[in-house]
Structure 1
Amino acid sequence: MQASSTDYVALSYRSDLRLLFLRWKRPASPAEHRAGYQAALQLAQKEQAGRWLVDLRSRGLADPNDLQWVLRDFRSDFQAALPTTTRRLAYLTTPYHADILRPRLSELDSLADTGTDIRVFTEEMPAQQWLQTGQ
């Protein structure tokens, strides 16, 4: 298992599951938010890992501008770094935050067609199942 950690994010890749885990440890500044995603992308490119579980439960939701950055700029980088892999991001949140994030994603993501699916989950096992099987 590949892993790295800072005071705000823990990254790991499970080769047995073929999943990259990006677990936020605390609220992050915009700079930390971008650095965390970029570090995860470096690990993902090394492992050819297009399926990510992004755990937001300890962090909470990103600022809408940071979410927009993920959906537009980062997702373009994600596609360029892993053009031949299935790309899925599963956001793991609290139920309260899921009710906020789902409509934000629908609103901000309506025009994007980058070949990267994003879904919101409140339980880890269904998120992992979707990442692995698409169901």
Structure 2
Amino acid sequence: MKTYQNEHLTILVDCGVHLLQQTWVGLPSSENFKNGSQMSFTLAQRHQIKRWLIDLQALRIFNPVDLHWFVQNWLPNATLSLPHAMRVAIVLSDQNQFAKLGADLILRASGSMNERLTSCYFTDTDSARQWLLLHN
């Protein structure tokens, strides 16, 4: 079920398994990045999300200023408000090292704020989803 969409982000929520899937494309504007991140947070709270799939295969790059905002503002708020035993699967294309650098930055910051966060990288969404659903 499509829950939210803007020019650079589609969010799907599978309420039955408490899974939120973000699919990022292109080069998100700051407005789309922040609005999409805020909507993800709202949906994650509303649906008690424990599993988060972030598909970055079609992403070109995140703006470093937006990543800074995310780590300094969004992440601390999310860490306080969302379940601590969250699982995060990130799907990357092998060629996109810029997306991996951004994801690494976010995961390092997330891990330092929430030691119970578990994350893993994948090259396809099916494997990522399977990994998320195998564990509670």
Compute the TM-score of the two structures, normalised by the length of structure 1: 0.76
Alpha carbons of structure 1 residues 114 and 132: separation in structure 2 relative to 1, 3 Å = farther
CA contact (8 A) 2:20 2:53 kept: yes
> Aligned-pair distance for 1:50?
3.0
Which one is further off, 110-119 or 120-129? 110-119
Q: Which whole-Å CA distance do the structure 2 matches of 1:54 and 1:89 have between them?
A: 7
Q: AA paired with 1:113? A: S
Who is 1:66 aligned against? 66
Question: Match for residue 90 of structure 1?
Answer: 89
- Cα distance 1:2–1:10, how it changes in 2: closer, same or farther (>3 A)? closer
CA distance in 2, matches of 1:111, 1:40: 16
Q: Report if the CA contact (8 A) 2:87-2:119 is conserved.
A: yes
Q: Distance in 1 between matches of 2:36 and 2:109?
A: 25
Instruction: Using the TM superposition, give the Cα deviation of residue 96 of structure 1 relative to its aligned residue in structure 2, in angstroms.
Output: 1.4
- Other structure's SS at 1:127 match: helix
Change (3 A) 1:133 1:86: farther
Alignment of 1:103-114 (within 5 A): 105=104, 109=108, 113-114=112-113
Number of the residue aligned with 1:122 = 123
| CA spacing shift, 1:74–1:120, aligned 2, 3 Å | farther
Q: Look up the SS of the partner of 2:22 in the other structure.
A: strand
The question of whether the paired residues in 1 share the 8 Å contact of 2:89 and 2:132 is answered with yes
Determine the C-alpha separation between the residues in 2 that align with 1:85 and 1:102.
24
Alignment check: 8 A CA contact 2:2 2:10 kept: no
- The Cα shift of 1:7 comes to 2.5
How many pairs align? Answer: 133
Structure 1 residue 129: deviation in Å? 3.0
- CA contact 2:88–2:120 (8 Å) conserved in 1: yes
Q: Indicate if the aligned counterparts of 1:10 and 1:22 stay in contact, CA closer than 8 A.
A: yes
Q: State the percentage of identical aligned residues.
A: 23
> Structure 1 residues 123, 113: closer, same or farther in 2, change over 3 A?
same
Between the aligned partners of 1:14 and 1:8, the Cα distance in structure 2 is 20
Q: 1:12 Cα shift?
A: 1.3
What one-letter code is carried by the residue in structure 2 that aligns with 1:15?
Answer: C
